[in-house]
Chains A and B, each alone.
Chain A
Amino acid sequence: MESGQLFIILATAIASATPLVFACIGETITERAGVINLSAEGTIMLCAMVGFVAAKTADNVWLGFVAAALVGALIALVVAYGAITLKQSQIAIGFVLALLCSDLSAYLGNPYVRIPGPTVPPRFAIPLLQDMPFIGPLLFREGDILVYAGYALIGATWFYFYRTRGGLTLRAIGEQPAAAFARGHNVIALRYAYTLIGGALMGIAGAAFSLDFKAGWSYRHTAGYGWIALAIVIFGGWNPLRAALGAYLFGVLQSLAGVAQSTVPNVPTQVFTVAPFVLMILALVLTSGDWLDRLLSYLPVNVRRSLARIIHTAPPAALGRPFEQD
Chain B
Amino acid sequence: MNGAAAPQTMTPPARAAGMPPTFYRIGAFAISLILVALVILISGASPVTVIGSMVGGAFGTADQIGRVIATLSPLLLCAAGLVYTFNAGLYNLGVEGQITFGAIAATWALRLLHPEGATASLLPPPVAIALAIFVGGVGGIAWGLLAGALHVYGRISEIFAGLGLNFAATGIAIYLIFGPWKRPGVASLSGTQPFDESLWLGTFGKTEATPVALALGLIALLMTIVVMRNTYFGLRLRAVGRNLRAAYVLGVPARRQLLSAFLICGLFAGVAGALQVVGVFHRLIPNVSSNLGFLGLLVVMLVNFDPLWILPVALFFSALNIGSLQLPLSLGLESSLSGVIQGLLVLFALLGRGLAQVYGRKPEG
Say yes or no for B1: interface residue by CB 8 A criterion: yes
Is there an interface contact between A271 and B175, defined as CB atoms closer than 8 Å?
yes
Question: CB-defined interface of A197-220 with B at 8 Å, one 1/0 digit per residue?
Answer: 000000000000000000000010
Q: How far is the CA of A255 from the CA of B255 in the complex (A)?
A: 40
Is there an interface contact between A275 and B43, defined as CB atoms closer than 8 Å?
no
Say yes or no for A285: interface residue by CB 8 A criterion: yes
Mostly, the A contact residues are helix
Instruction: Select one of B156, B164, B182 contacting A289, CB under 8 A.
Output: B156
Shortest Cβ distance from B24 into A: residue:
A86
Number of residues on chain A facing chain B (CB within 8 A): 49
CB-CB contacts below 8 Å: A94-115 with B:
95-97, 99-104, 106-108, 110
Is there an interface contact between A95 and B297, defined as CB atoms closer than 8 Å?
yes
Say yes or no for A234: interface residue by CB 8 A criterion: yes
Is there an interface contact between B358 and A85, defined as CB atoms closer than 8 Å?
yes
Q: How far is the CA of A78 from the CA of B43 in the complex (A)?
A: 22
Is there an interface contact between A282 and B164, defined as CB atoms closer than 8 Å?
yes
Q: How far is the CA of A108 from the CA of B334 in the complex (A)?
A: 8
Is there an interface contact between A270 and B344, defined as CB atoms closer than 8 Å?
no
Say yes or no for A281: interface residue by CB 8 A criterion: yes
Question: CB-defined interface of A282-293 with B at 8 Å, one 1/0 digit per residue?
Answer: 101100111100
Is there an interface contact between B154 and A291, defined as CB atoms closer than 8 Å?
yes
Say yes or no for B160: interface residue by CB 8 A criterion: yes
CB-CB contacts below 8 Å: B152-177 with A:
154-157, 159-161, 163-164, 167-168, 170-171, 174-175
Is there an interface contact between B167 and A100, defined as CB atoms closer than 8 Å?
no
Q: How far is the CA of A291 from the CA of B175 in the complex (A)?
A: 29
Q: A82-B351, A86-B351 are in contact. List 14 more A-B contacts (CB 8 A).
A: A38-B159, A87-B354, A89-B350, A95-B297, A100-B339, A104-B340, A106-B339, A108-B42, A278-B171, A281-B164, A284-B156, A284-B160, A288-B156, A289-B154
Residue ranges of A at the interface with B (Cβ–Cβ < 8 Å): 38, 78, 81-82, 85-89, 91-93, 95-97, 99-104, 106-108, 110, 219, 224, 227, 230-231, 234, 267-271, 274-275, 277-278, 281-282, 284-285, 288-291, 326
Residue ranges of B at the interface with A (Cβ–Cβ < 8 Å): 1, 39, 42-43, 91, 93, 150, 154-157, 159-161, 163-164, 167-168, 170-171, 174-175, 178-179, 182, 187, 286, 294, 297-298, 301, 333-334, 336-340, 342-344, 346-347, 350-351, 353-355, 357-358
